[in-house]
Amino acid sequence: MTTILITGGCGFIGSNYARYVSRHHPEYKMIVLDKLTYAGNPENISDLKNNPNFSFIKGDICDEKLITEIVPKVDYIVNFAAETHVDRSISEPDAFIKTDIFGTHNILEAVRNSSNVKRFLQISTDEVYGSILEGSFREDDPLEPSSPYSASKAGADLMCLAYWTTYKTPILITRSSNNYGPYQYPEKVIPLFVTNLIENKQVPLYGDGLNVRDWLYVEDNCVGIDLILHEGKLGEIYNIGAGEEVTNLELTHLLLEMLDKPKSMIRPVEDRKGHDRRYSVDCSKLRSLGWKPLADFKESIKQTVAWYQANRAWWEPLKSGEFKEYYKKQYRQMV
Ligand code: NAD
Ligand code: TDX
């Protein structure tokens, strides 16, 4: 029986991927390991808990003893576990270095020392390349990360590549663009803006609002991840993006229109420090494996808005407690 370990499977993309695996590989034994930080929510995979092939371990990828114990029992590993919010990395970088770099290294060591693991897929990000004003980054372009978040993710990528070169540890890396969809923690721009607007609160738009992001529906990312896990070439990196580039201002206008709110709900605020202007990745390498994004951008944004409208009970508790404290520290008063 094939066993897959999904670390960070209680977060946004990891939980969507765990659900994808349960649908597409029902015969796999699935272990979700998650530390349950502020961003990890067991509710995100509550529908999987009665599946006899599913098990959950509350644990930290930095815990050497735990990881050394679990890794030899699995065939595939997909590492989603990370600190992921750029703004938090700017105010408090420590946890990013620990989880994103040291945690990944800890898994790599366990994989290196086990002959059972066939494939270790490291989930990275397009942010490791840095900003690009024209054109798109290819997988062999140099890394120029701007934030402590993207620098820590770049550090993890380099460790994976070094383990491939030095030990032939069976790694693969994906670098995707910005994801959106259900179960995204409401600190990220789309769920933050949608939930604020549902609550009739203003939305804090950074700087001139002209920074560009390429939006990828989470389900399309899951399809790409799964294809790369099974058919990607070991030691290789694959970009994943939909080519749906919009400025934050255009995105905000679209959300206002969908939620029938006036432009006065936009509150321009101070820019993010070191704010990358534009991300763009060339995905021809993944497309040559047969992948292409299936989601229609406007339709999937509409479905995402509808999901947050229908699931207030999921996000309302997340916007109190720790979240409020965090925003007070950020001096952004509108949540
Ligand atoms: P998320 O913040 O929603 O979830 C992260 C998960 O990791 C949480 O469940 C958290 O509890 C868990 N975690 C954190 N530290 C841990 C540790 N030390 N040990 C075990 N579990 C730990 O993040 P996400 O948006 O789902 O991102 C998942 C991965 O995808 C990350 O590696 C991120 O860098 C990458 N990524 C995200 C995006 C995006 O747009 N969200 C885009 C590109 C790449
Ligand atoms: O309140 C906000 N106002 C605003 O204007 C927030 C939270 C963001 N923004 C802007 C900043 C960015 O230009 O929106 C854009 C998107 O911001 P985030 O949602 O914070 O995403 P980003 O910084 O682009 O990073 C995301 O995509 C790549 C994820 O958080 C990362 O984990 C992933 O690697």
Residue 231 pLDDT exceeds 80: yes
Mean pLDDT of the chain: 96
Nearest to 150 by CA among 276, 245, 38, 13: 276
Span from the CA of 84 to the centroid of ligand 1 (angstroms):
5
Residue 130 pLDDT exceeds 60: yes
Q: From CA 182, how far away is CA 16, in angstroms rounded?
A: 8
Span from the CA of 10 to the centroid of ligand 2 (angstroms):
20
Q: From CA 29, how far away is CA 4, in angstroms rounded?
A: 6
Same-domain pairing of 15 and 56: yes
Indicate the range of 55-59, 208-212, 268-272, 327-331 predicted with least confidence.
327-331
Q: From CA 207, how far away is CA 200, in angstroms rounded?
A: 22
Catalytic residue (choose from 126, 157, 187, 276): 126
Tokens of 231: 């058919």
Residue 335 pLDDT exceeds 50: no
What share of the chain has pLDDT > 90, as a percent? 95
Q: From CA 131, how far away is CA 144, in angstroms rounded?
A: 8
Same-domain pairing of 83 and 201: no
Q: Is the CB of 189 under 6 A from ligand 2?
A: yes
The answer as to whether 103 is a domain residue is: yes
pLDDT digits (tens, 9 = 90+) for 292-332: 999 999 999 999 999 999 999 999 999 987 777 776 666 45
Span from the CA of 57 to the centroid of ligand 2 (angstroms):
29
Name the residue at shortest CA distance from atom 6 of ligand 2: 189
- Helix, coil or strand: residue 1: coil
At 333 the pLDDT is 46
Residue 196's CATH number: 3.90.25.10
290, with CB counted inside 10 A (0-12, 13-18, 19+), is exposed
The answer as to whether 285 is a domain residue is: no
Atom of ligand 2 nearest to the CA of 178: 27
Residues 6+ apart with CB under 8 A from 280: 126, 132, 135, 136, 137, 177, 212, 214, 241, 245
Q: Is the CB of 216 under 6 A from ligand 1?
A: no
Same-domain pairing of 231 and 192: no
**149 counts as catalytic:** yes
Q: From CA 183, how far away is CA 20, in angstroms rounded?
A: 14
Same-domain pairing of 122 and 160: yes
Same-domain pairing of 234 and 107: yes
Q: What's the domain count of the chain?
A: 2
Q: Is the CB of 154 under 6 A from ligand 1?
A: no
Q: Is the CB of 40 under 6 A from ligand 1?
A: yes
Domain that holds residue 267: 184-213+246-274+296-331
pLDDT digits (tens, 9 = 90+) for 151-164: 999 999 999 999 99
The answer as to whether 283 is a domain residue is: no
pLDDT digits (tens, 9 = 90+) for 22-35: 999 999 999 999 99
**236 counts as catalytic:** no
Same-domain pairing of 145 and 200: no
pLDDT digits (tens, 9 = 90+) for 69-127: 999 999 999 999 999 999 999 999 999 999 999 999 999 999 999 999 999 999 999 99
Q: Is the CB of 103 under 6 A from ligand 1?
A: yes
